[in-house]
Amino acid sequence: MKSFITNSSEETILLGKRIVEALPSYLHVILLEGDLSSGKTTLTKGIALGLGVKSVVNSPTFTILKIYKGIKMLYHLDLYRMDNIGHDFDLEEYIEDPMGFTVIEWPNQVEALIPKVYVHIKLTYLDLDKRLIEITTSNALDEWMNTL
Ligand SMILES: Nc1ncnc2c1ncn2[C@@H]1O[C@H](COP(=O)(O)OP(=O)(O)OP(=O)(O)O)[C@@H](O)[C@H]1O
Ligand SMILES: [Mg+2]
């Protein structure tokens, strides 16, 4: 586990970029947990930068999924409204694409679909511009975090 405190959205974006650059390639699913406005989409902007995505990443709240093209395909899922949409949506296809990179906001909606290997990032609102960002992985092999 590694924790950071960021003092601006720019710092959170930079952290997202550093995370994706440090990640070993077998880690390509990131679960983002945190309240509304805790910074999940902001962190995803940095992840997209790290993946070489040129277009602007914004909140997919009303679309569930947005796909961006970078070094890998970035699948950005926001499952906050999953219950309204129903479960006929084929999420496995994205989560299991080894050539893709998947970021999931509100992953508790699809617990059954979460792969065995993932990065979990919890964001907590501390103050207007301050966030606590805690990173863990599904396995103990997290030496890559030392390079963050
Ligand atoms: N240190 C910080 N890190 C991230 N965002 C910050 C920070 N300080 C201020 N902010 C602001 O907080 C807001 C975070 O919004 P964001 O959309 O990233 O949250 P979210 O967790 O994705 O919310 P939602 O659950 O509604 O999708 C943005 O307006 C951002 O500019
Ligand atoms: Mg969001």
Q: What separation in Å is there between the alpha carbon of 71 and the centre of ligand 2?
A: 23
Distance of CA 26 to the CA centre of its chain: 15
What is the structure's pLDDT at 71? 93
β pairing state of 130-137 and 2-6: antiparallel
The residue contributing the CA closest to ligand 1 atom 1 is 8
- Per residue in 102-122, pLDDT (tens digit) is 999 998 877 877 888 999 999
Distance, first Cα to last Cα, the chain: 12
Whole-model pTM: value is 0.93
pLDDT tens by residue, 15-38: 999 999 999 988 999 999 999 999
Question: From the CB of 42, is ligand 1 less than 6 Å away?
Answer: yes
Q: Per DSSP, which regions of the chain are E strands? A: 2-6, 29-34, 65-69, 73-78, 100-105, 119-127, 130-137
Residue 129 identity: D
- Domains annotated for the chain, with CATH where assigned, are 2-140 (3.40.50.300)
Question: Ligand 2 centroid to 78 CA: how many Å?
Answer: 7
